[in-house]
Structure 1
Amino acid sequence: MRAIRLHAFGPAENLIHEEVPDPTPAPGQVRIAVTAAGVHLLDTALRQGAPGPFPAPTELPTVPGREVAGTVDALGEGTDPHWLGKRVVAHLGMVPGGYAELAVTDAARLHEIPPTLDDAEAVAMIGTGRTTMGIVQFAELGTADAVLVTAAAGGIGTLLVQYAKNAGATVVGLAGGPEKVARVRANGADLAVDYTRPDWADHVRAHLGDAAATVVFDSVGGATGRAAVDLLGKGGHHLVYGWAGRGPHDGEPLTFTDEELTERAITSRSVLGPVMLEKAGGDIRTLELRALAEAAAGRLRPAVQRFPLAEAATAHHALETRATMGKVVLVP
């Protein structure tokens, strides 16, 4: 099969498209003929050998990627035969191997893809979608809310805008550059603003009038994240799921003193990692099932940007330079 392999930690160009042996499913596993493989910003850090929620690979070369969709074409010993030929999606967990024409995983990780979703959309929902479902657990949104979403043209941001609109909230989406702002507006945001402009916060205040933001979904951090938090009114919530902004003073987590939070009567918390899993009852599949169900019903529509598998290095570079919109997916 053809796959992307990383032979040495470093730049995107270290991702090599080459021929490798076909994988064989072990007992309890399936092999998937991959039609879509998800690319995550975390993958770019792992490619460089950086630590993160998933450990960097200790043995090279390795095939990156942890989100795949396709058709089951082989079964390991003892695997339920009903999976053979099924169109499925799976998050591979701690084991990479997704950037390939074939991937193996435990049958317990599989979800059958709803007929209303294509494979790339299913990949978006099994990773980005499940994270979105985890984030919104911490916000009981309604018609009285004014929600501000940073990085609203990204994969999670796109879904957060839709979720908040479905709940009846007023939604403001921030994005970098005119093209992304247009995408956020088309996605249903009541107001879409370019956060690379110095006066963006003034536009938000003018739009909200006497109201104030009640929830900020923040994946940017830094100066932009701080300006977003400054738009919160009393009782507002700052929910953090990253700090990967591209602005000159972004890309850093925000910190607040207890005195500041108390004086302003706002909260700020990170909603990733164990706290998200605990909120979901300890079962990550709960979030995956919710995400797929929301997409299958048409309530959430993931934005997908496709790259050929052979161009994985280009996809990584685009992610790192914030040149993508929506979920990045490799297509063999």
Structure 2
Amino acid sequence: MKAIQVTQFGGPSVLVAADLPDPTPGQGEIAIDVTHAAVGLIDVFFRQGLFEDVPGMPKPPFIPGLEAAGSVRALGEGVTGFTVGEQVVAMSAGSGTGGYASVYIAKASFAVSIESFGIDPALAVAVVPNAAMAYVALTSIAHLCAGESVLVHGALGGFSAAFAGIARQLGASRVVGTVRASKLEAGRNTKLPYDQIVDSAGLPGILGDEKFDVVIDPVGGAIRSHSLAFMKHGSRLIVCGNASGDWEHQVRTNDLWGSGITVSGFNAGAYLPMHPQVVRPALEAALRAVASGLGETEVDVLPLHEAAVAHERMDDRALNGRIVLAP
């Protein structure tokens, strides 16, 4: 199979094309002939070696990529509910590798058919897995109720963008996003179901005295501290990333106690394998959201051999949506 490997930790140039043996599915797995693979910020962090000392994290040489779409190539032992040739989208069950290739091995329980939904596979792989994770974060961690309000930082980012549609699907009364000034124009033109998108540089004052029931923060740094100004007794802050790259930031726990608010971490790679029962309903909810037009994010498709170009763009934070690779 064709694949892109991280040959050593470093910049985008460490992404190298390789011809490797075709993998075969094991028990409970399916093999997918990949048509599209999503590029995510976590791929960048893995490539840079930010988690090289964390047990279980990938070490070179490895194939990046958490999400893939394509047709079922083969079924592993014990797999039911899928047929060879069926169009599917799959997400990682925890390893976070393997997507940048012409063949991807997925746990069958972490894959879902898109055959009857008429969804473009590039959009499906760009949105469905992230929307499924957003669904889990909003239901199992934030316990979002109909009528509550949601604030999403980094509103056009790959993961963040999925929260708006899922929040709407769950009955949120108001969904507001924040972005950097350079992304405001894209925010004004987005089809994502935000009520308002504001410049994050104006936080916290730009939203006046408005408070939110749930705040989604995949950005970190100063924005995480600003988030406390938008919270009231009973509000929940979900920490689900660190796009800012500020690994030293801290939140004062006495501020949480004094305000009666909750801060919870959500790491899908750790949470989903420990709670596999949430994956199927999350994927089904994500499919419904995308099929109903709640996930219309911007998607750029590049050929697989331009994976390094994709990572350069990720490093520059010059995206308003997602990049997808096509083997």
Same fold, judged at TM 0.5 (above): yes
Specify the alignment match of 1:87 in structure 2.
87
Q: How does 1:53-132 map to 2 (within 5 A)?
A: 55-58=56-59, 60-75=60-75, 83-93=83-93, 94=95, 96-113=97-114, 114-132=116-134
The reply to whether residue 314 of structure 1 matches residue 309 of structure 2 is: yes
The reply to whether residue 31 of structure 1 matches residue 31 of structure 2 is: yes
C-alpha distance in 1, partners of 2:81/2:235? 51
Specify the alignment match of 1:262 in structure 2.
257
Tell me if structure 1 keeps the 8 A contact 2:63–2:100: yes
Tell me if structure 2 keeps the 8 A contact 1:150–1:219: yes
Structure 2's unaligned 5+ residue stretches are none
Identify if the C-alpha distance between structure 1 residues 213 and 329 changes in structure 2 by more than 3 Å, giving closer, same or farther. same
Amino acid at match of 2:280: R
C-alpha distance in 2, partners of 1:279/1:147? 26
Deviations 1:127-173 (A, max 9, x none): 31221011111242443x44221110112222222333452422221
The reply to whether residue 151 of structure 1 matches residue 154 of structure 2 is: yes
Amino acid at match of 1:161: A
SS of the residue corresponding to residue 156 of structure 1 reads coil
C-alpha distance in 1, partners of 2:315/2:302? 15
Tell me if structure 2 keeps the 8 A contact 1:49–1:56: no
Specify the alignment match of 2:223 in structure 1.
224
Amino acid at match of 1:223: A
TM-score scaled by length of structure 2: 0.83
C-alpha distance in 2, partners of 1:213/1:78? 46
Identify if the C-alpha distance between structure 1 residues 330 and 237 changes in structure 2 by more than 3 Å, giving closer, same or farther. same
C-alpha distance in 1, partners of 2:183/2:272? 35
Structure 1's unaligned 5+ residue stretches are none
C-alpha distance in 1, partners of 2:168/2:109? 34
Deviations 1:200-227 (A, max 9, x none): 432211xxxx642332111122212211
Amino acid at match of 2:173: A
Identify if the C-alpha distance between structure 1 residues 319 and 184 changes in structure 2 by more than 3 Å, giving closer, same or farther. farther
Amino acid at match of 2:135: M
Amino acid at match of 2:195: D
Amino acid at match of 1:63: I
Amino acid at match of 2:50: A
- Paired residue for 1:189, among 191, 194, 203? 194
The reply to whether residue 176 of structure 1 matches residue 180 of structure 2 is: yes
Amino acid at match of 1:152: A
Identify if the C-alpha distance between structure 1 residues 64 and 260 changes in structure 2 by more than 3 Å, giving closer, same or farther. closer
| Superposition deviation, residue 303 in structure 1 | 4.1
Specify the alignment match of 1:203 in structure 2.
206
Tell me if structure 1 keeps the 8 A contact 2:184–2:197: no
| Superposition deviation, residue 72 in structure 1 | 2.2
How many residues end up aligned between the 2 structures? 320
Amino acid at match of 1:213: F
SS of the residue corresponding to residue 38 of structure 2 reads strand
Identify if the C-alpha distance between structure 1 residues 234 and 36 changes in structure 2 by more than 3 Å, giving closer, same or farther. same
Specify the alignment match of 1:233 in structure 2.
232
SS of the residue corresponding to residue 17 of structure 1 reads strand
Specify the alignment match of 2:10 in structure 1.
10
Identify if the C-alpha distance between structure 1 residues 262 and 92 changes in structure 2 by more than 3 Å, giving closer, same or farther. closer
Amino acid at match of 1:22: D
| Superposition deviation, residue 89 in structure 1 | 1.6
C-alpha distance in 1, partners of 2:4/2:13? 11
TM-score scaled by length of structure 1: 0.82
C-alpha distance in 1, partners of 2:28/2:268? 27
| Superposition deviation, residue 92 in structure 1 | 4.0
Deviations 1:177-201 (A, max 9, x none): 3435532663332221121x3x343
Bigger radius of gyration among the two: 1
Identical counterparts, % of pairs:
32
C-alpha distance in 2, partners of 1:83/1:299? 28
Deviations 1:237-281 (A, max 9, x none): 2221122226xxx55554222x32232232222233599549967
C-alpha distance in 2, partners of 1:107/1:284? 11
Tell me if structure 2 keeps the 8 A contact 1:159–1:301: no
| Superposition deviation, residue 123 in structure 1 | 1.5
C-alpha distance in 2, partners of 1:72/1:10? 33
SS of the residue corresponding to residue 160 of structure 2 reads helix
